[in-house]
Amino acid sequence: MDDDLIWGVSPLTAFPWMEAMLGCAAKLAEESIWAVERDAGWEDLESLSIDDDNPWLGKYLEFLQVLTHHAAGRFPVGQSILRGVTDIIGALRGHDQALIDGMESPERIRPLGARCASALVSVLKRQFEIIQPFMGGYFIEQYCLWAPDRIARLQEDASSIYSPGMYIDLIQESDRFIASSFPLSIIHLHSSSLFIIDAFLEIGEIDAFQVNKDVGGMELHEMIPTLQKIQESNRSLVLRGSLTPDDLRLIEARLEPGGLLIQIVVDQSAETKELRELIDTLWKKGDSNG
């Protein structure tokens, strides 16, 4: 409310698009949708790809076509949540089995990760054939983020159960392939994956990092050194979560404002007044100090 973000639309973000395109069933409950782990055998995954007649690919592209037609240039249409390589491997093999595979069958996980990355890139390329530039750029709906060129959203939620060495050995090149396939890219991470941030930062093709401050996860003061490391690597930073007034004071004191986007999650709209006044005070003070 009363923010300075760019608002737009995307296909349903709650739906497990990539998992469904790759053969996982989707289950619906009252307030959630999730992908059922496929528990696929290796032989079923040897030729993993998404054909042009894939029904879930067709539905994703149909959403983009309808949204683009309705927007008619008035607001941007962008990428939905399409998961990441570790997430897709977990959905295909089962998350417990995928971790065992990484230790016992790394020679199978590496090419599977590459096939997952190729499938994701193929979907994104089809997406950019449909959506139109907005004000000369493109859009990531989950972050209200505009970029001056085509931008891919990566994520690696399941990386939190990989060791740094496993991620580098098994997954890193797949993420590099996705990020390098488009002019710009941003990766979504939870605080539970920050212990392998150095491995993500090694992928120079990733332009921006979006980090969640999760309920029940790390406190902001624990995250600050890693967030500083991201900024010191000359990457843009999007920080999202439930942030207290003390958190905002810490951000103002310890993080650089350039290339920083803060997205504050609140339970009640009434909370925004105090936070807005504090933000105005903190960053106007910073402007006055040069």
Residue 87 inside a domain? The answer is: yes
Give Cβ neighbours of residue 14 (< 8 Å, ≥ 6 apart): 32, 33, 81
Q: Both ends of the chain: CA-CA distance in Å?
A: 28
pLDDT at 3: 67
Q: 101 with 171: CB under 8 angstroms?
A: no
Q: Give residue-wise pLDDT tens across range 243-253.
A: 999 999 999 99
Strand partners, 153: 186
pTM score:
0.94
Residue 104 inside a domain? The answer is: yes
pLDDT at 289: 46
Residue 233 inside a domain? The answer is: no
Residue 232 inside a domain? The answer is: no
Q: Which of 188, 190, 37, 163 is nearest to 106 (CA)?
A: 163
Domain with residue 119: its CATH number is 3.20.20.210
Q: Cα angle vertex 137, ends 86, 2, to 5°?
A: 90
The H-or-E segment that residue 222 falls in is helix 220-232
pLDDT at 269: 84
Residue 168 inside a domain? The answer is: no
Q: 19 with 86: CB under 8 angstroms?
A: no
User: Whole domain around residue 39: which residue ranges?
Assistant: 1-149
Burial of 16 (0-12, 13-18, 19+ CB in 10 A): buried
One-letter amino acid identity for 37? E
Number of domains in the chain: 1
List the pLDDT tens digit at each of the 290 positions of the chain: 566 789 999 999 999 999 999 999 999 988 899 999 999 999 999 999 999 999 999 999 999 999 999 999 999 999 999 999 999 999 999 999 999 999 999 999 999 999 999 999 999 999 999 999 999 999 999 999 999 999 999 999 999 999 999 999 999 999 999 999 999 999 999 999 999 999 999 999 999 999 999 998 999 999 999 999 999 999 999 999 999 999 999 999 999 999 999 999 998 888 888 898 999 999 875 554 44
Residue 31 inside a domain? The answer is: yes
Residues 115 and 108: their CA atoms lie apart, in Å, by 11
Q: What is the dihedral of CA 79, 83, 85, 88, to 10 degrees?
A: -130
Q: 75 with 134: CB under 8 angstroms?
A: yes
Greatest Cα pair distance, the chain, in angstroms, is 63
List, in sequence order, the alpha helices (H) in 129-219.
Answer: 164-170, 172-180, 197-201
Task: Read off the tokens for 183.
Answer: 């002019």
Residue 180 inside a domain? The answer is: no
**Residue 261 gets which letter from DSSP?**
E
Burial of 247 (0-12, 13-18, 19+ CB in 10 A): buried
pLDDT at 31: 82
Residue 70 inside a domain? The answer is: yes
Residues 258 and 140: their CA atoms lie apart, in Å, by 19
